[in-house]
Amino acid sequence: MMAFMSTTTSPFVARVALWSVALAGCLAAAAPAARADEPAALVLPDTDDGLPGVGPIRRYDWFRNLWKERRGAWAGRKAADARALVFLGDSITQGFGDDFKNAFPGAKLANRGISGDTTRGMLLRLADDVLALDPAGVVMLMGTNDLEEGAAPEAIAANVKAIVAAIEAKNPRTPIVLCQVFPSAAEKQRPAEKIKEVNRLVAEGVKGDPRVRLIDTWTLFADAKGDAKPEEFPDLLHPNDAGYARWAAAIRPVLETLELVPAPVDDFQCEPGFEMLFNGRDLTGWGYRDQPTLGRQLDLDGRTSSPDGRYIVRHGRIVVTTPPEGRRVEQLWTTRELTGNFILKLEFRATPTADSGVFIRAPQLQCRDYLLAGPYKELKHYKPQDWNELIVTVIDGKAMCRCHDEILEVALPVPASGPIGLEGDSGQLEYRRIRIAKVPPVSGE
C-alpha cells in the first residue's frame, strides 16, 4: 500500500485543475506496459508515476487479483454491454451483482464495481471499463475506501470531479446519477464528519452541471449520529438486501425520468365525479404565473416541457426535475381558477430529502419526502421513494389535507378562488393522477 499525504494548498488545487482538463486524452496513455502474457489495461501499475488523479491506489495482493479477474471478464463483454446503464463503484456496487437483485427489470445494466477500489483506481480504469461502452448513463457511488486509506476529502472530491469531466468529454449528453457516500462508522475509519465533508465538496464540485443528478443517499441511510444503521448495514459498511432495496428505490425515480430504466405503464382511470387537471400527455391547462400577483404569464398548452426544463412530462407524470444549482424555487400553476368547494386528489413520489409543495389556490401545503425532510415526520403510512396519495378537501374556505388516511392539516385557510400550483425547490418530485371533483357548499347546514 502506498503512503498518502493530504495536501490542500493552492498548488494542489492548481495541479488538480491541470490534469482534470487534460484527463480525457491521457487516460489511455497512462496505462503501464504489460507483461507478455497480460493485456496492458488489466495490469495494476506498480507506482503512481504518470497516473491521473490524486490520493491512494490500493495494491494489496488480493486487490491486484480481483482487479485483473473482474476487468478481464469485462473485456470480453464490451460488445454485449454497449449502451448499458453502467454502475461504477467499489464493493457496495459489486455487491449489487450483475442482476442488480432484479431491482430494475427490463433495463440493460452493467456492473463495474470492484471491491476495495478507490476513486483514483476508478479514474484509472474509467476509459476501458466505462467509456468504451458508450454508456447510456452512469451511476456513481465512490469514496468510502479512500477514507479508510487516509485520503483527504479534497482529494476524493477532485477525483470524482475528474471522472465526471471525463464522462462528459467522451459524450456531453451522457446523464450521470451521482450518489452521496453512504454512512459508515468511525470504527471503520469512516467517521460521519469526514463523509459529510466529502459529500459537501463533491456536491460543490458538480453544482451547476445539468448532466449530473445528485442523490442524497447519505441522509437516506444515516442514523441520528450520522452513522450506518446495523439493520441495513450489518457490518456498518455494506448494505444487506434491505439496504440495496432502499438504494434502488432512491435512484429509480431519476432513472425512469431519464429513461434509463423502463417505467411501468399507468392505466389509471378517473373515478366518477372527478375530472383530470393533468391529461398525462402534456402541460395543457398549466403554465407560469407572476408569483406576487398570480397573473398568467406563460401558458404551456401542448408542450411536454417548460422552457427551462424544470417541469417535464414523462410516463404520465409531471416531473419537477432536480435543479443543477441544488436548490431553485419555481412554480407551475393551472391556467384555470378554481372556485367553490372541491376535493383534489393526486399522487406524488419524492427522491430522498426532496422538497416541493402543492398550492391550494394560494396557500402552500408542503409536499416532500416527509420522513426525511419533514414537516410530517411521524406518518405511519407514508411510503418513502414510492407513490403516496394526497387528498385535499376544501369546504367553505378551509382545507383538510391528508396523506393516505393520515391528516396533515385539519383546517388550512384558503381563499375563495384561485389556481392549483406545484412548486419545485430541491430534489426530484413527480406528480400523477391529478384530479378534482366539485362538492356542494355546507354553510348554513
264 in any annotated domain:
no
Query: Both 335 and 240 in a single domain?
Result: no
2 in any annotated domain:
no
User: Using one digit for the tens of pLDDT, what is the confidence trace for 268-301?
Assistant: 999 999 999 999 999 999 999 998 899 999 999 9
Kindly give the residue spans of alpha helices, DSSP state H, lying in 282-338: none
Q: Which of 277, 404, 290 is nearest to 342 (CA)?
A: 277
CATH number where 197 lies? 3.40.50.1110
Phi, psi torsion values for 100, nearest 5 degrees: 50, 35
268 in any annotated domain:
no
Report the distance separating Cα 252 and Cα 243, nearest Å: 14
Report the distance separating Cα 133 and Cα 72, nearest Å: 15
Query: Where a domain ends, among 230, 257, 284?
Result: 257
Query: Where a domain ends, among 224, 257, 290?
Result: 257
CATH number where 346 lies? 2.60.120.560
Query: Both 365 and 252 in a single domain?
Result: no
15 in any annotated domain:
yes
Phi/psi region, residue 382 (left: phi>0; alpha: psi -120 to 50; beta: rest), is beta
149 in any annotated domain:
yes
377 in any annotated domain:
yes
Query: Both 171 and 293 in a single domain?
Result: no
Q: Please identify every stretch of the chain with a pLDDT value under 50, giving residue numbers as ranges.
A: 1-38, 444-445
DSSP state of 286: E
Report the distance separating Cα 440 and Cα 427, nearest Å: 38
174 in any annotated domain:
yes
Query: Both 94 and 120 in a single domain?
Result: yes
Report the distance separating Cα 419 and Cα 214, nearest Å: 32
Q: Which of 7, 2, 3 is nearest to 152 (CA)?
A: 7
Report the distance separating Cα 364 and Cα 356, nearest Å: 10
Q: Which of 300, 389, 299 is nearest to 344 (CA)?
A: 389
pLDDT value for 42: 80
- Number of Cβ within 10 Å of residue 240's Cβ equals 14
Query: Both 246 and 98 in a single domain?
Result: yes
Query: Both 16 and 153 in a single domain?
Result: yes
pLDDT value for 110: 98
Mean pLDDT score across all residues of the chain: 91
Q: Is 404 helix (H, G, I), strand (E, B) or coil?
A: coil
Query: Both 233 and 298 in a single domain?
Result: no
Query: Both 113 and 230 in a single domain?
Result: yes
User: Using one digit for the tens of pLDDT, what is the confidence trace for 409-431?
Assistant: 999 999 999 999 999 999 999 99
Q: Is 202 helix (H, G, I), strand (E, B) or coil?
A: helix
Query: Both 232 and 367 in a single domain?
Result: no
Query: Where a domain ends, among 257, 288, 304?
Result: 257
Q: Are 146 and 55 in contact (CB under 8 A)?
A: yes
Question: What are the residues whose beta carbons fall under 8 Å from the beta carbon of 295, sequence distance 6 or more?
Answer: 289
Q: Is 230 helix (H, G, I), strand (E, B) or coil?
A: coil
Global pTM value:
0.90
* Sheet of strand 176-179: strand arrangement: 109-113, 85-89, 137-141, 176-179, 212-215
Q: Are 358 and 364 in contact (CB under 8 A)?
A: yes
Q: Are 240 and 233 in contact (CB under 8 A)?
A: yes
235 in any annotated domain:
yes
Residue span of the structural domain in which 194 resides: 10-257
pLDDT value for 39: 58
Q: Angle at the Cα of 428 (from 423 to 432), degrees rounded to 5?
A: 70
Query: Structurally, how many domains does the chain consist of?
Result: 2
* Matching residue, cell 464495481: 113
Query: Both 313 and 431 in a single domain?
Result: yes
Report the distance separating Cα 176 and Cα 169, nearest Å: 13
Q: In one letter, which amino acid is 43?
A: V
Report the distance separating Cα 332 and Cα 125, nearest Å: 43
Query: Both 241 and 119 in a single domain?
Result: yes
Report the distance separating Cα 64 and Cα 43, nearest Å: 8
pLDDT value for 362: 87
Query: Both 283 and 230 in a single domain?
Result: no
